[in-house]
């Protein structure tokens, strides 16, 4: 492969002759061999959309030649559509503020635009990565903006997955509406409940978590630092650019983007992304709590609760024949733990911002997008391969409900708290049901015993 020689602020760099990227990308690839994974598509797409919006805004206010702006717009659209994905090589762990990936995008778009105007890649006679593609911009306002745009764009799949999961629980709630069972508090017998009511509660938990993620995104993450340039003062941006660039970006992305009221604060403080990470963690906690319950309720099949049966998706043991485990909920629990860890990383990165900007944005972007991807995939899988196929063991549920000492609460109106407690203790110690003790001691008229101690009455 041939090479071309390019120069940056540190001197000459050899660049593959047919590469759309340039000197700064080559240096970054050599410096940051960390994960071996290319940048996330969502971030590259968001950066390209910012470049298109900025070129249009700069041309509108008279700061950028319209022919150059049109070429940048076309090149940026190609990048946003994923046409040159192999040209983005910078590792996800890179120089602070995302400068390396930002310049990778600037270089690719500049070379594409140069070729559109009849030049050759690497020449930069008409279109320069910094002077034109990056006009009125800094990594300090662009990369945090790209992070927010990418997070909001990708959040749609998570919201849809959580909706799907909640709907799956709705279906089970309807199917199990009349399946009465023992409630359990402190993991001990409690007053009756229906399995349908428990499933409906799971649906409500998921929806509340989903709405928190959505609201945090729309009201916090959508607030952009773009046009603040290096420190939030807007230094280097022409008059009118700030008013033009955000509406253009909002139209391009279809997202509810707004300019931050205080650009200096927005450039230095990524607390809103920390809040979004917390909302993701809260969603993971809710999903994890639900899957913990599914594992408990399905425990058995002979020696546990076994009130529900989960779909059998694969053999569960390399040693014990016939064993089937709750594999899907187990996987989901692991994902929820990973998402919770991502929130902690984001919080540390937000706190790691110093003085007039935060250099930790790349890890914030990577962790939030990883959490979105994982939780969305796990929620869809849980809905499709587990929840939608849950079956109830109605006889076992009924047996537990009638045997539950929590039903002693139904005796309080007639016997008082202390009297009902005496019945419960004696039933437990003598291994009998509440009905047997009540009948033996004639504590209620015979024709009322079955009615008073009928579990379904109290659900």
Cβ contact 366:345 at 8 Å: no
- CA distances to 96, 223, 275 from 360, in Å: 6, 18, 16
What residue spans of 61-138 are helical by DSSP H?
66-80, 99-116
What tokens appear for 270 in the block?
A: 């990524």
**Known catalytic membership, residue 132:** no
The long-range contacts involving 170-173, CB below 8 angstroms and separated by at least 24 positions, are: 170/199, 170/200, 170/203, 171/388, 172/196, 172/199, 172/387, 172/388, 172/390, 173/197, 173/199, 173/200, 173/203
Q: What are the DSSP calls for 388-419, one per residue?
A: GG-EE-HHHHHHHHHH-GGGGGGGHHHHHHHH
Nearest to 307 by CA among 399, 392, 193, 199: 392
- Strand segments, DSSP code E, in 98-207 are 180-185, 188-194
Which residue carries 């002077």 as its tokens?
131
Token digits of residue 136: 């009125």
Catalytic residue among 100, 128, 186, 430: 186
Based on the number of CB atoms within 10 Å of its own CB, is 409 exposed (0-12), middle (13-18) or buried (19 or more)?
middle
- Signed CA dihedral, 165, 167, 172, 173: sign only: positive
State the CB neighbour count (10 A cutoff) for residue 12: 10
430 is catalytic: no
Of 155, 317, 327, 430, the catalytic one is: 317
Tokens of 413: 């109106």
Rounded-to-integer distance, Cα 256 and Cα 185, Å: 43
**Beta strands 188-194 and 391-392, pairing class:** unpaired
Catalytic sites, residue numbers: 186, 317
């Amino acid at each position: 492969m041939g090479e071309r020689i390019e120069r940056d602020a540190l001197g000459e760099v050899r660049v593959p002759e047919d590469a759309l990227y340039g000197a700064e990308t080559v240096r970054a690839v050599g410096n940051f061999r960390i994960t071996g994974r290319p940048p996330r598509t969502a971030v590259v797409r968001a950066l390209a959309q910012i470049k298109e919006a900025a070129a249009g805004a700069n041309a509108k206010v008279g700061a950028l030649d319209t022919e150059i702006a049109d070429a940048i717009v076309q090149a940026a659209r190609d990048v946003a559509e994923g046409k040159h994905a192999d040209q983005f090589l910078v590792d996800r762990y890179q120089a602070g503020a995302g400068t390396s990936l930002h310049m990778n995008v600037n270089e690719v778009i500049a070379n594409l635009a140069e070729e559109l105007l009849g030049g050759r890649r690497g020449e930069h006679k008409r279109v320069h990565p910094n002077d034109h593609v990056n006009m009125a911009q800094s990594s300090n306002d662009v990369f945090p903006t790209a992070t927010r745009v990418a997070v909001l764009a990708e959040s749609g799949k998570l919201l849809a997955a959580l909706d799907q999961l909640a709907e799956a629980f709705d279906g089970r709630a309807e199917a199990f509406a009349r399946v009465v069972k023992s409630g359990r508090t402190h993991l001990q017998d409690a007053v009756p409940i229906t399995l349908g009511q428990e499933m409906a509660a799971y649906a409500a938990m998921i929806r509340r978590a989903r709405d928190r993620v959505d609201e945090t995104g729309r009201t916090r993450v959508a607030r952009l630092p773009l046009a603040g340039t290096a420190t939030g003062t807007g230094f280097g941006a022409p008059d009118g650019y700030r008013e033009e660039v955000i509406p253009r970006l909002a139209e391009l992305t279809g997202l509810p983007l707004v300019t931050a009221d205080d650009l200096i604060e927005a450039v230095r403080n990524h607390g809103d992304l920390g809040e979004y990470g917390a909302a993701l963690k809260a969603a993971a906690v809710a999903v994890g709590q639900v899957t913990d319950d599914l594992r408990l309720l399905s425990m058995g099949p002979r020696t546990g609760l076994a009130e529900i049966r989960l779909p059998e998706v694969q053999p569960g043991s390399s040693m014990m024949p016939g064993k089937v485990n709750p594999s899907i909920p187990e996987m989901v629990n692991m994902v929820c733990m990973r998402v919770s860890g991502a929130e902690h990383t984001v919080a540390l990165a937000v706190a790691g911002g110093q003085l007039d900007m935060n250099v930790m944005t790349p890890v914030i972007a990577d962790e939030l997008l990883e959490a979105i991807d994982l939780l969305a995939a796990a929620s869809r899988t849980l809905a499709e391969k587990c929840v939608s196929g849950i079956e109830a063991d109605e006889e076992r549920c009924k047996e537990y409900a009638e045997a539950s000492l929590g039903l002693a609460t139904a005796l309080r109106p007639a016997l008082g708290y202390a009297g009902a407690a005496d019945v419960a203790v004696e039933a437990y110690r003598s291994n009998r049901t509440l009905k047997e003790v009540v009948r033996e001691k004639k504590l209620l008229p015979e024709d009322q015993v079955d009615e008073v101690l009928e579990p379904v009455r109290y659900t």
